[in-house]
Amino acid sequence: MPKVTLPTLHSGQVEIWQNKSRFNVVCCGRRWGKTKMMVTIAADTALKGFQAGLFTPEWRQLAEPQTELLDILKPVTKSASKTEGVIRCTTGGVNDFWVVNDNPLAGRGRTYKVGFLDEAAFTKPDMIDIWSKSIKPTLLTTKGSFWLFSTPNGVDPDNFFYRAWHDEELGFKQFYAPTSTNPYVPLEELESLNRTEHPLVYQQEYEAKFISWANSTFFRLEYILENDQPVEPVMKCDGVYAVMDCSVKSGSEHDATAVVYYGFSKYYGHKLVVLDWEMYSIDAASLEHLAPKVIEKCEMLASTYQARSGSMGLFVEDAAGGSVLIQQARTRGWPVRALSSRLMSKGKDDRAFIVGGPVASGLCKISRYAYEKVLSWKGRSMNHFLHQVTTFRIGDKEAAKRADDLLDCFTYGVAVGLTDYSMMI
C-alpha cells in the first residue's frame, strides 16, 4: 500500500485517545486541535478499510477537515467528490461529510465504524432528534463509536452539546480540554489573552467553561472606572469624535436619538474616555438640524482638551436616517462619516464581543462629567448611559423591550477607537 502519513497527536490528544469510550464528548478551548484529532482518527479509520462519518453544523465548517483528509488520503484515494461529500479509498475505507443544520436526514442510509460531530455546540435545537433518529443508528451494526467536539457556547439546556456534557443518560464520556493542554500553544500568548480579552470570553473560548451569559453583566461598571472613580480627562489628547445612533424606530416607546462623545489618545493618558452623552426625541427629518449641533460640540470639546488632530467628526450608521444624513453632509461639507459596514453587519451581541476585551482591560474610561450626568427621559431621571451599558447581557431575550440607543453608541464608539474596526488612522 502507498505510504500515508497521519498527523501526530499532541500529548493532550493522546491522553484522551488512550482513555476513550464508545461515546465521547470533548469540551475544548480554541486552538486545542479538535479538528486535527478528528481528521487523524477519520483518516486512520479509512486506511483500515472502515467507514467514518464527519458531521458539522454548516458547510463552511466542513471545508478544513475535508481538504486535510483529501491531502492525507491522496495516495490511497480511489475517488473523491467535494460536491457529494465523500472520499473512497482503495482500502475499502470511506469518509463521508454531512451538514446537520436543517438536515434531519444527515447520515441516513449509512453505516459507520466511527462518527464525529465538530462544533457541536453550534447546532440547532433539533440536533438531539437528528442524533437519535438519523446518526446514532449508523453505528448499530458495527458497534461504532462517536465523538462530539466543540468549544462551549453558553448555558442552554436545549443545546445538544450542553446536554451531552451534563446529562449522563445520553451516555457520553466527558473529556475536558482547555487550550492550555495543547503543548504547542505558547503560554505567554495565553497569558496575554487573559489580560486583554473580556474575562467571560476568555473563560468560554480558552478555558472551555460553560458561561451563563444571561446572568452575567457584560460591561461591569468597574471596567470604565479607575480605582472605583470616574476619570478627569487629560487636557491634551489626539482627537475628539462623536457617535450618533440615528436609526429611527418609529413607534417605539424606548426610541431616542443618542449621541456619545469620546476623547481619543494614542500616546499618553487613557486611550479612550467617554466625555459626554446626550439623548434627543426627534424624527429622521430632524437629524439634519441636530448634526450641526453635535459637530459644533465636538469642536468645542476638541478645543477644551487641546486635541492635536482637532475634531474627528461624527460617525453614524449608513442606514435609515443615517444614510440621508451622510448624503446631506457631503453636500454641505460636514465632517460626518459612515461607520464600518463590517461593524454594522454585526448584531448587538457580536459588537459587544468585539469591544469586550478593550473595555474589560480598562482601555476605555468614563469622565466625571459623563458619570455624574442625570437626564430625565420618558419620566425617569437617571444616568441613562450607565444604566444601558452596565445592565446589558449577552443573549437577553427581552432586549427588544429595553432602551439601547446609548449602548449602541458605546459599542460603536469603542470599536472605532480601540479595535480592528478603528477609523482613527
What are the sequence ranges of the domains in the chain? 11-205, 218-418
Give the whole-angstrom CA distance, residue 93 versus residue 121: 28
CB 371 within 8 A of CB 191: no
Lowest mean pLDDT among 64-78, 94-108, 157-171, 398-412: 398-412
Per-residue model confidence (pLDDT) at position 284: 59
SS3 call for 25: strand
Kind of pairing, strands 94-99 and 86-89? antiparallel
Q: What is the pLDDT of residues 298-335, one digit of tens each?
A: 999 999 999 999 999 999 988 777 788 888 888 899 99
In degrees and rounded to multiples of 5, residue 263 shows phi and psi of -110, 130
Single-letter code of the amino acid located at 153: N
Crossing angle of helices 348-360 and 405-418, in 10° steps, is 60
Q: What beta strand segments (E) does 82-213 contain?
A: 86-89, 94-99, 114-117, 145-150, 173-177
- Confidence class for position 248, pLDDT limits 50, 70, 90: low
Domain covering 11-205, topology: Rossmann fold (3.40.50)
With 70 as the cut, is the pLDDT of residue 186 above it?
A: yes
- Confidence class for position 251, pLDDT limits 50, 70, 90: very low
Per-residue model confidence (pLDDT) at position 167: 95
By C-alpha distance, which of 25, 32, 60 is closest to 149? 25
Lowest mean pLDDT among 41-45, 129-133, 150-154, 325-329: 325-329
With 60 as the cut, is the pLDDT of residue 112 above it?
A: yes
With 60 as the cut, is the pLDDT of residue 425 above it?
A: no
Per-residue model confidence (pLDDT) at position 250: 46
Crossing angle of helices 63-72 and 34-47, in 10° steps, is 40
Going by CATH, does the domain composed of 218-418 fall within 3.30.420? Answer: yes
Using alpha carbons, list the distances in angstroms from residue 177 to 11, 200, 257, 299: 11, 17, 46, 52
Lowest mean pLDDT among 37-41, 70-74, 330-334: 330-334
- Confidence class for position 396, pLDDT limits 50, 70, 90: confident
Per-residue model confidence (pLDDT) at position 192: 95
Per-residue model confidence (pLDDT) at position 283: 67
What's the chain's average pLDDT? 92
For 425, counting Cβ atoms within 10 Å of its Cβ (0-12 exposed, 13-18 middle, 19+ buried), the class is exposed
